[in-house]
Structure 1
Amino acid sequence: MSHATKSATSGGPSLAGFMPDTEKLHRLSALLTLLLLIVGFSLASQAFFSVNNVLTILLQTSVIGLLGIGLTMVIITGGIDLSVGSVLALSGVATGMTIKAGLPVVPAMAFGVAVGAGCGVVNGLVVTRLRIPPFVATLGMMLMARGLALQLTGAAPISQLGESFGRLGNGALFRVVEMQANGFPKVIFPGIPYPAILLLIVALAAAYMLRRRQIGRHIYATGSNEEAARLSGVRVDETKLYAYAMSGALAGLAGNVLMSRLITAQPSEGVMYELDAIAAAVIGGASLSGGVGTISGTMIGAFIIGILRNGLNMAGVSAFIQQIVIGAVVIGAVWIDQMRNHR
């Protein structure tokens, strides 16, 4: 029986207590890569460290980070979720439609998150009850969620959702605005974007859950050795279902953040976002074989993806070349993971 499995039932040490040295090294190398990217792009462009650009990076990374946190839980169980980009779009559309129907913004956003969680539950049930491989199950959900979002809207964006809908995506804490003599506002301090604050809260809550709560230990135990975990009393199917539900709910939350930034519900948004989220988790040290991964590592991976895209944009690199670079980074991260598993 693995150490992780024992701790699942005995309330053993925290994740840091049994984290392999190779995993710590992987996360350290990811952090070093992040620092090198920051230094490199700062030297390449003086505008990289401007306040506006830093805020842009935070806003872009918040969506990837939220998706990545949910995917990390699924990947640790040994699964995968390819549907988060489409679920993001469907949840945003659900929020937009309920606001158009007259529901206030907060309950409407809660409904959007519930729709995402529902998609995650369906993924979990298909994986655990029908025994369909996660890749195929979530690929099916990816197609169905996208198709439903397009069908419900006629492939047209839902606009005129009101200023209050855009507050989550465009608001900021401690923002200071001064009215000028000409009657136009001047931003003195842009503040801390709400999406960045939301990402921090969700990341801390998810890290606490994985490190300190029983469900977190069960998630690690399931991914480390599913059969041993089952024999030790872990409800493996329920654990997987929880992970997929959380992934769907966080995709719904990310959908609210993204659509709020646009102040429009776009059924075509979120295409290929699942690949960025998977890349963030893998770059941060999550193993596609299961049993390994941390929220802090995923956050590092998300910022690597966000800063890489932002820096390449500022350097004038085309979006097509960016895809090639991100793809190469993902392949490299998975190769390092395979080498780690062999060792």
Structure 2
Amino acid sequence: MSDTSKPAEGLGPSFPGSAGFAALQKLSAVLTLFLLVIGFSLASPAFFSVNNGLTILLQTAVIGLLGIGMTMVIITGGIDLSVGSVLALSGVVSGFAVKAGLPVVPAMTLGVAAGAACGAFNGFVITRMRIPPFVATLGMMLIARGLALQLTGATPISGLGDAFGTLGNGALFRVVEMRENGFPNVIFPGIPYPAILLLIVAIGAAYLLRRRQIGRHIYATGSNQEAARLSGVRVDRTKLYAYTMSGALAGLAGNVLMSRLVTAQPSEGVMYELDAIAAAVIGGASLSGGVGSISGTMIGAFIIGILRNGLNMAGVSAFIQQIVIGLVVIGAVWIDQMRNRP
């Protein structure tokens, strides 16, 4: 029982200074986020504008939702490479449901359910067929993307209606007045619904990981699987839960993204799994398992979102951006490896 008591409290593997190192890594991530904001604000006055801030919130919402599910999986000691493709498939399912005459909310619920089903399949293959998570989720990445392209004929599903775009483009407390010429004037842009959704999901996931039994089991499974099993933790069921949650959140992110576009795009979500992994690792999650937090992942997601936004405003090409993000991920993993050394 002693081996699993620390993970139950979220302290991770039992080596000297692990908690302190994790706190230091999160502090360094916060400092990095602050420096990025200051640097990009000095480079471009438009970066610190309200409109750009809302753009960053919208861009980060999708990364954050994917990152939360990825964090749960990484804490168990696994990985989920399928979230980008599951995002696309879930959006396509929601689009087809709306086209079939289903109201938007049930249609999007069906999309989330499709994502959860993909995640549950990942968990089944990993726990019952004993296939490594990397291979199992790589297979699902191809299956989900193939299904999305096959169902749509590789063409977007358009004409979904204004109601479909409410989740991705709506905002709370938005104030708009009509000018004399008939054009709207936005007095206050409001708080984007995707940002509110991300906040709610993040709080719920943090509560689940820190205060509920399943959260303690997730940490215990990633820290020492055999010790957790001997302590009475149902390791396979815990992994199945984590992968199902990852799939469901990928489905939710797919609804948010497709709603922003007001079109179901089967080709969306390419490489999004890498942003999700990067957000979790930058935020302090250990690829060895047993360590990670939702707050850290949110910091990591905003670092990725602000970095992409700032580089875009600076006119940096998308190819250079990939290089920069890749170097950031390598650096974060290197720090993780340093932490895990005895």
Partner of 1:89: 88
Q: Mapping of 1:299-310 within 5 angstroms?
A: 299-310=298-309
**Cα offset for 1:188?**
0.3
Partner of 1:341: 340
The secondary structure found in structure 1 opposite 2:202 is helix
User: Aligned partners of 1:219 and 1:21: how far apart in 2?
Assistant: 21
Verify: 1:227 aligned to 2:226, yes or no: yes
1:245-303 Cα distance to aligned partner (Å, 9 max, x none): 00000000000000000000000000000000000000000000000000000000000
The secondary structure found in structure 2 opposite 1:178 is strand
User: Aligned partners of 1:206 and 1:25: how far apart in 2?
Assistant: 22
Contact 2:89 2:147 in 1 (8 A): yes
User: Aligned partners of 1:219 and 1:194: how far apart in 2?
Assistant: 29
Q: Mapping of 1:28-67 within 5 angstroms?
A: 28-67=27-66
Contact 2:10 2:292 in 1 (8 A): no
Which residue identity does 2:177 align to in structure 1? E
User: Aligned partners of 1:248 and 1:260: how far apart in 2?
Assistant: 18
Q: Mapping of 1:183-332 within 5 angstroms?
A: 183-332=182-331
**Cα offset for 1:183?**
1.2
1:13-36 Cα distance to aligned partner (Å, 9 max, x none): 5769x9711111111111110001
Partner of 1:162: 161
User: Aligned partners of 1:171 and 1:218: how far apart in 2?
Assistant: 37
Partner of 1:21: 20
What's the C-alpha RMSD, in Å, of the aligned pairs?
1.3
User: Aligned partners of 2:303 and 2:2: how far apart in 1?
Assistant: 32
User: Aligned partners of 1:274 and 1:73: how far apart in 2?
Assistant: 14
The secondary structure found in structure 2 opposite 1:53 is helix
Contact 2:11 2:291 in 1 (8 A): no
Which residue identity does 1:188 align to in structure 2? I
The secondary structure found in structure 2 opposite 1:177 is strand
Q: How many corresponding residue pairs?
A: 338
Partner of 2:68: 69
User: Aligned partners of 1:342 and 1:169: how far apart in 2?
Assistant: 43
TM-score in terms of structure 2 length? 0.97
Partner of 1:131: 130
Which residue identity does 2:199 align to in structure 1? L
**Cα offset for 1:81?**
0.1
User: Aligned partners of 2:110 and 2:183: how far apart in 1?
Assistant: 37
Q: Against the structure 1 CA distance between its residues 324 and 14, is the aligned structure 2 distance closer, same or farther, given a 3 Å change threshold?
A: closer
Contact 1:2 1:224 in 2 (8 A): no
User: Aligned partners of 1:286 and 1:7: how far apart in 2?
Assistant: 15
Identity of aligned residues (%): 83
The secondary structure found in structure 2 opposite 1:81 is coil
Which residue identity does 2:299 align to in structure 1? I
Partner of 1:111: 110
Q: Against the structure 1 CA distance between its residues 78 and 322, is the aligned structure 2 distance closer, same or farther, given a 3 Å change threshold?
A: same
Contact 1:7 1:217 in 2 (8 A): no
User: Aligned partners of 2:296 and 2:113: how far apart in 1?
Assistant: 27
Q: Structure 1: which 5+ runs fail to align?
A: none
The secondary structure found in structure 2 opposite 1:164 is helix
Which residue identity does 1:185 align to in structure 2? P
Contact 2:119 2:245 in 1 (8 A): yes
User: Aligned partners of 2:167 and 2:272: how far apart in 1?
Assistant: 20
1:93-144 Cα distance to aligned partner (Å, 9 max, x none): 0000010001000000000000000000000000000000000000000000
1:179-233 Cα distance to aligned partner (Å, 9 max, x none): 1111111000000000000000000000000000000000000000000000000
User: Aligned partners of 2:128 and 2:163: how far apart in 1?
Assistant: 41
Contact 1:2 1:225 in 2 (8 A): no
Moved over 2 A (4+): 12-16
The secondary structure found in structure 1 opposite 2:333 is helix
Q: Against the structure 1 CA distance between its residues 289 and 142, is the aligned structure 2 distance closer, same or farther, given a 3 Å change threshold?
A: same
Partner of 1:144: 143
User: Aligned partners of 2:123 and 2:62: how far apart in 1?
Assistant: 22
The secondary structure found in structure 2 opposite 1:292 is coil
